[in-house]
Amino acid sequence: MLPTGFDFAISALANPFVLGLIGLGTLAGVLVGALPGLSSSMAVALLLPFSIYLDPIPAIALLSALYCAGTFGGSITAILINAPGAPPAVATAFDGYPMAVKGEAGRALGMAAVASVCGGIFSVFVLLFTAPVLARIAYSFGPPEYFALAVFGLSMLASISREAPIKNLIGGCLGLTIATIGVDLTTGVERFTFGVAELYGGIHFIPVLIGLFAVTELLSQAARLGKETHSITLAALKLPTREDFRRVRGTIARSSVIGTLIGVLPAEGGTIAAMIGYNEAKRWSKVPEKFGKGAIEAVAGPEAANNAATGGAMIPTLALGIPGSATAAVILAGLQVHGLRPGPYLFEEQPGLIYSIFFAMLIANVLFLLIGLAGAKIFSRISLVPATILWPMVFALCFVGAYGLEQSMVDVWVMLIAGLLGFVLKYHGFGPAPIIMGLVLGGLIETSLAQSMIIFDQSWTGFLSRPVAVIFFVLALSSIFSSPIRMLFRSYMNKMAKKT
C-alpha cells in the first residue's frame, strides 16, 4: 500500500506544467552554478518573489530543482577555467582544472556529473526515509522543546567553522535582531519601526535575502572588474570509462554518506562536505601522490559530497524547521510565504507536498545529469558573459523581486540596505548564512519563548522539567564551547609533553 500523499505527489508532478518548471529550474540552476560569482542561494532568493504567484507544489518543486542543479553547475567552470561557479565546487577545481589542461575536460565533466547524481540521489532517499521519522519524533514537541531546538540550531553556527565561530554567532544574533523589527504580538509594543507604517508587520524575508546574496555579490564583483578569465577549449565530450567508474565507486559511496551527514548540520555544509570528501578520497586512494595533478577520484569525491549535502540539508529543514544550509533557509522562507510551517504538522497535513519535494529533487538530479553531459560546451561559453552585462541584469531583477512582493519602495530600501550591510560584513569576514538563519529562526524563537514563559508562569526553571529541552540546551552549550575546550585540552597536553 502506498503511503498517504504518495499517489497525489505523482499525479501532481505528472502535470506537464510542473514538469516544465522542474526542467526550467534544473536548467537555470546549472546555468547559475556555472557562472562564477552566482550561487544557488542567490538564484533561489531572486526566484522566490516570482514563485509566490504559483501554487505551493509547483513553487517549492521549482526552488528544490534549482537548489540541486545549482550545486552541480559550479563544477563546470571549476573544471574548465579554474573559476568555481559556487563555493562547494572549490575542491573540484583542485584536480578538475589540471585534467582540463591535460585535455581531459570531458572526462572530468562526465565524472563530476555522474558523481553529483549519485550523491544527490543517495541523499534524497535518506531524506525520504529519515525526515518522516524525525518529524514523528518532533510531533510531541511543545513550545519549550521548539525554543531549545532553535537555540541548538543557532549554536551550531559556532562549531561549523573553526576559523570564525564568534563571527558566525554575531551574524546569527544580527539576524535575530532583524527578526524582532515590528509590533510584538504578545505585548503590542513597537520595535525598531521608526514610525514607518510598512515596518509594523516586520521585515519581509525576501528583500533581505536578495540584498544579502545578490546585491552583496554585485558589489563584490564590481570591486573585481577588469580581471581577465582564460578558458580552456573543450574538445569532444568523452565520458569516463568503465575502469574510471570501477575505480571511484568506493569514493562516491563514502563521499555520499559524508555529504549527507554534514548536510544535516544547520549551516552551509556543501563546501565543508566537499573539502572533507576530497580529503577522504585522498586518504583512501592508492595513488595519493597524483592528487593535485589530475586524479579522477579527486573530482568524484567532492562532487558526490557537495551534492549529497543538498538532500541532507533538507532533512532538518522539512522535519524540524531548522535550515540545513543557506539555500535551505531560503526554501524554508518560501514555505512560510506560502503559509506552510515546516515540521511534524507539515508531514501530517501536507504529505503530498513533502513527497512532491522528494520526487522533484530526484527528477532534477536525473535531468542535470543529461544537461551536464550534453550541454557542457554551451555552459562553458556562457561563463564568459562580461560582468558589465551580467550584473546590471541581475541588479534589475533584484529591484523587480523586492518591489514585486508588496509593491512597496520600503522593501526596495530594505534590500539595498541589506546588500550594503552584507558587503561591509563580508569585507570583515562575516558570511550571510548565519544572518539568514537568525532571521528565519527569530520568529520561532520569540514565539516559542513567549508561549513557554506563559506555560511556566514566567519561571525559567520550568525548562528544567522538560527533558528534551534540557538535552537540546546541553547540546547547544557543548557546541558553543567545544572549540575553546578543545584548544585548552591541546594546550594542556602540549605542556604535559614538554614536561616529560
> Which carries the bigger pLDDT value, residue 137 or residue 112?
112
> Which carries the bigger pLDDT value, residue 145 or residue 1?
145
Report d(CA 26, CA 23) in Å as an integer.
5
pLDDT for residue 379: 55
Reported as a single tens digit per residue, the pLDDT across 2-30 is: 455 667 777 777 788 888 888 888 888 88
Read off the pLDDT of each residue in 189-214 and give the average, rounded to a whole number: 81
Read off the pLDDT of each residue in 112-126 and give the average, rounded to a whole number: 88
Report residue 420's pLDDT band, with 50, 70 and 90 as the boundaries. Answer: very high
Q: Name which of 401, 404, 387, 310 is nearest 38 in CA terms.
A: 387
pLDDT for residue 416: 92
Q: Looking at the predicted structure, is the pLDDT value of residue 236 above 50?
A: no
pLDDT for residue 421: 92
In this structure, what C-alpha cell is assigned to residue 254? 563514502
Reported as a single tens digit per residue, the pLDDT across 169-179 is: 888 889 888 88
**Sequential DSSP letters for 18-72:** HHHHHHHHHHHHHHHHHSTT--HHHHHHHHHHHHTTS-HHHHHHHHHHHHHHHHH
Read off the pLDDT of each residue in 208-217 and give the average, rounded to a whole number: 78
Lookup result for grid cell 530594505 = 414
Read off the pLDDT of each residue in 239-260 and give the average, rounded to a whole number: 84
Read off the pLDDT of each residue in 69-95 and give the average, rounded to a whole number: 74
Report d(CA 26, CA 371) in Å as an integer.
9
Q: Above pLDDT 90, what percent of the chain?
A: 3
Q: Which of 19-23, 118-122, 490-494 has the lowest mean pLDDT?
A: 490-494
Reported as a single tens digit per residue, the pLDDT across 321-368 is: 777 777 787 888 888 878 777 777 777 777 778 888 888 888 888 887
**How many angstroms separate the first and last alpha carbons of the chain?**
67
Q: Looking at the predicted structure, is the pLDDT value of residue 296 above 50?
A: yes
Read off the pLDDT of each residue in 254-271 and give the average, rounded to a whole number: 75
Reported as a single tens digit per residue, the pLDDT across 423-449 is: 998 888 887 767 877 887 788 788 888
Number of other residues whose CB lies within 10 A of the CB of residue 406:
14
Range list of H helices, 406-457: 409-427, 432-455
pLDDT for residue 97: 79
Residues 6+ apart with CB under 8 A from 10: 355, 359
pLDDT for residue 427: 84
Reported as a single tens digit per residue, the pLDDT across 366-413 is: 887 787 777 655 655 555 566 677 678 778 877 877 776 677 888 889
Whole-number average pLDDT of the chain: 78
Residues 6+ apart with CB under 8 A from 370: none
pLDDT for residue 2: 45
Q: Looking at the predicted structure, is the pLDDT value of residue 124 above 50?
A: yes
Q: Looking at the predicted structure, is the pLDDT value of residue 484 above 80?
A: no
Q: Which residues of 207-242 are buried (b: 16+ CB within 10 A; e: fewer)?
A: bbbbbbbbbbbbbebeeeeeeeeeebebeebeebee
**Sequential DSSP letters for 349-376:** H-HHHHHHHHHHHHHHHHHHHHHHHHSH
pLDDT for residue 417: 92
Q: Looking at the predicted structure, is the pLDDT value of residue 159 above 60?
A: no
Q: Which of 68-77, 117-126, 224-233, 477-486 has the lowest mean pLDDT?
A: 224-233
pLDDT for residue 493: 75
**Sequential DSSP letters for 109-134:** HHHHHHHHHHHHHHHHHHHHHHHHHH
Q: Which of 76-80, 124-128, 137-141, 224-228 has the highest mean pLDDT?
A: 124-128
Q: Above pLDDT 70, what percent of the chain?
A: 84
pLDDT for residue 234: 47
> Which carries the bigger pLDDT value, residue 293 or residue 164?
293
